[in-house]
Structure formats: C-alpha cells, structure tokens
Amino acid sequence: MDEVIINRNTRRHSRRVAATKKATKKDKKAPVPTDKLTQSVGRAQGNITELMNTALASTTINDNPCTSKEEMLSPNKKKWEAAIMDEYNSIVLNGTFSPTQTQFGNKPIESKWVFKTKRNPDTSTRYKAGLVIEGYDQMDYGETYAPVGKLTTLRLLISLATLNTWKIDHLNVVMAFLNPDVDNDTQFMELPEGRPGHGGPDEVKVVRLRKALHGLRQAPHLWYQHNNALLQSLSFIQSEADPNLCIRNLGEMLLILYVDDMLLAYTPTAANEAEEIKQALAATCKITNVGTARQFHGIEIHYETHCLTTLGQRIFIDSIFKRFYMEAAHGAATPLNNKLKLDLALADKDGEIDPKLYLAIVGAVVYIALATRPDMSYAVAPLSRYNSRPFARQLTAAQRVL
C-alpha cells in the first residue's frame, strides 16, 4: 500500500514539473500585450526604448534651441538674435541690473538664455528669448509663494461674460518680473554668452541685480505683491475664493491674473472705465493689449453666438502629438482599454521604463483634463498612480488617452 502511494505522489510531482516547464516556455514566446496605438508608435520608432530616447532628446515642443551654441547653428539664427537684442535692450532700459566690481564675498549666480516660439491667435509664430537666472544655485532668499488664477475661475468668468454679453480683453504684461525691485541688495549675477557686447574690450561679466529677474526664487512672490498693490490702488478687491480674481464696481468689472497674463471682463456700460484701467496699468508697467481674448495659456476661446462660447485646446494637443511622435497614431473609441490591466503585479514582464517620458505624457493629459476635457478625468486618475514606477503597459494606456 505504501508503494502505491509513493508512486502516485511521484507521478503527480512529475506532472507538475512538466506543466511548469511548458508554461515557462510558453511565456517566453508570448509577445508583450499591446494595443493598436502602441503598435503604431512602435513601428515608427522601433520599440518603446527608442521612442523614449527620441522623445527625451527634444526638450521643447517646437525644436527650440536649448543653448546659445544651438542658437548659433539654428536655421532661424537671425530671428533668435533679434529676439536676444530686444530682450537685452528692454532689460537694460528697465534698470534690471548694474555693472559692479565688488561682490562682498557673495558668489555670483550664473544665468542663461531661454528660447521659445509662441503661436499667436492668428496662427503666426513669434520668437522670444528670455534672460533667466539659474535660481537653483541661489542660497539666500525669503518668501517664494505666489498663487496663480484657477482654471475653474477662468471658466466661471467666461461663463458670466457669455451669459451677460460682457466683453473680455486680453492684456499681457511685458517682462512682468522685472517690475518689482529685489528684496536683497547683495544679489549678483554672471551674464551669459550670446549677449550683445560679449567678448568685446568693455565686456561686463558680473552685475548687481536691481529687479526681480526670471529664475530668481522670490521673483514670483515679489511680482504678486507688486501687482496686488497696483490693483488695490485702482479700487479692485480680491475675491475670497481666488486671490487672483479681482472685482471692481460691485461686479461690473472682473479681472483674473495668471502670472503675466490678464483677462479683463466688463459690462457694456463700463467700457470707458475699462479703458481708464488699461491706461493706468500701462502707466505703471509695459502692457500689450492683445484685444478680445482668443487664447489664454493654451486654451482657445471661440465665440460662437451671443450666448455660446466654447473652449478648446486643438493647437496645444497637436503640439503634444508632435512632441511625442504620435501624429500617425490611430484614434481610440474609449480613453481606456478595459482589457489592459495596470496592476504592477502583472507589469513586471513588460519591462520598466524611464519615468520622464511617462510623467511628461501624464502631465499633458492632466492639464487637458483640468482645462477643457473633464470627461477624461476618470481615465487620467488611474494613470497618476504609477508616476514613480511606470511600466510599458502604463505607457500604453497613457498613449491611448492621448
């Protein structure tokens, strides 16, 4: 009897070993589960790793130069040089810094040029160059917090303007951070390459900051305080719900501020007061009156009829497709694939990916969902759970949402 039991156990053990080997062999041959969107992108780039490396090689959406050396080699060199000249002249005329030879032992902070192309509402392109200080090397600074306008406030303002036939004007503050003075008189900066006069006999290398230049850690807070004081002097009152929403004349005029962009909504009877406000703002800082608001931070505003206004992000979404090389990707009927499981327990065999590409895609999708596509929120929420350790299947799901 004992021999029979032993033989049965032996046979059962042999069957289990054989089944395990067969399953292992089958798993090795099984392809990584992907949907049609990933296959389309994979054929264009070879595989996910090559796609990631290609996408990360382009740090900007429109192939803008990242350094002064790249700017010199760019086919748009003359346009970038003109943008640098305009920026530098504006900074000098504004008294942003002054040459100095004495540094009081403080090490000057390096600076650099930032190049960016912007799309105008009429689809034309303008070239912008900005001088920024490398604030991550800054050691001595105070308060840095500065709130920005909420997207919900923006939609509410547009809704009120549409229902009441108000007019919405778009104002842009040119070099907003250069308006307030710095709160530290011993802040020094080393000027970058590519500036006018670089390499000349009278070259100035180190300057003392007088204004809050972009990149300075406390610059957003200083501009926020400066702008608040200016608006309060013009009889605007801050909203308790959003500190960047200002109200005047018991709601006949509303102003929302998002860093250096303003939307001014007003009733037809307050048109003359709105012009006075614009003139008062222009007397304090350089302001560009763009006119009727058509685009605001990547959000397109379309006035269909007197009681209908629609919001969209077509230009922004097209730029995202171009950035991640997904122009040829096919559309999907639903944002998420119900057959694709996102659990990490099932994702190990897919291969872990660099989170930089995944975070860039998820961040873009989150902004779209918050701004104009709230119907995508349910699909974006599960993707955000894997930001620290994404795998190929999470990347596939994020690409499908796009």
DSSP letters spanning 342-369: --HHHHGGG-B--HHHHHHHHHHHHHHH
Residue 367 has a pLDDT of 93
pLDDT in tens, 350-363: 778 888 999 999 99
pLDDT in tens, 364-385: 999 999 999 988 888 888 888 8
User: In residues, how long is the chain?
Assistant: 402
Measure the CA–CA gap between 274 and 234, rounded to whole angstroms.
11
- Range with lowest mean pLDDT among 21-30, 98-107, 180-189: 21-30
What percent of the chain has a predicted confidence (pLDDT) above 90?
26
The C-alpha R_g of the chain, in whole angstroms, comes to: 28
Report yes or no: 131 and 213 within 8 Å, Cβ to Cβ. yes
**What integer is the mean pLDDT of 250-279?**
91
**Distant-in-sequence, close-in-space partners of 130: CB < 8 Å, separation ≥ 6:** 87, 113, 114, 115, 116, 214
- Range with lowest mean pLDDT among 15-29, 34-48, 136-150, 344-358: 34-48
The secondary element (H helix, E strand) that includes residue 83 is helix 77-93
Tell me: pLDDT of 401 over 80.
Answer: yes
Tell me: pLDDT of 76 over 60.
Answer: yes
Please name every residue paired with 238 in a beta bridge, in sequence order, or none if there are none.
Answer: 246
Measure the CA–CA gap between 38 and 361, rounded to whole angstroms.
14
Structure letter (DSSP) for residue 31: P
The residues spanned by each domain of the chain are 26-57+314-401, 68-297
Q: How confident is the model at residue 65 (pLDDT cuts 50, 70, 90)?
A: confident
User: What's the mean pLDDT when you consider all of the chain?
Assistant: 78
**What integer is the mean pLDDT of 155-180?**
90
Q: How confident is the model at residue 2 (pLDDT cuts 50, 70, 90)?
A: very low
Q: How confident is the model at residue 167 (pLDDT cuts 50, 70, 90)?
A: very high
Report yes or no: 190 and 111 within 8 Å, Cβ to Cβ. yes
Q: Which runs of consecutive H residues, i.e. helices, occur in 237-293?
A: 271-284
Structure letter (DSSP) for residue 200: S
**Distant-in-sequence, close-in-space partners of 354: CB < 8 Å, separation ≥ 6:** 52, 56
- Range with lowest mean pLDDT among 196-200, 254-258, 308-312, 392-396: 196-200
Residue 32 has a pLDDT of 40
pLDDT in tens, 283-298: 988 888 989 999 998 8
The secondary element (H helix, E strand) that includes residue 305 is strand 299-305
Measure the CA–CA gap between 12 and 6, rounded to whole angstroms.
10
Give the number of C-alpha atoms closer than 13 A to the C-alpha of residue 357, restricted to the C-beta side. Answer: 25
pLDDT in tens, 88-146: 888 888 888 888 766 566 778 888 888 888 776 666 788 888 888 888 878 777 788 88
CA distances from 76 to 83, 132, 169 (A): 11, 21, 32
Residue 331 has a pLDDT of 84
What percent of the chain has a predicted confidence (pLDDT) above 70?
78
Tell me: pLDDT of 392 over 80.
Answer: yes
Secondary structure E strands in 87-203: 97-99, 109-119, 125-133, 167-173, 188-190
Report yes or no: 170 and 292 within 8 Å, Cβ to Cβ. yes
Residue 121 has a pLDDT of 64
Considering only residues 148 and 101, tell me which one the structure prediction assigns the higher pLDDT: 148
Residue 200 has a pLDDT of 52
Give the number of C-alpha atoms closer than 13 A to the C-alpha of residue 332, restricted to the C-beta side. Answer: 18
For residue 119, what are its two tokens? 């799309």
For residue 336, what are its two tokens? 């998420």
Residue 363 has a pLDDT of 92
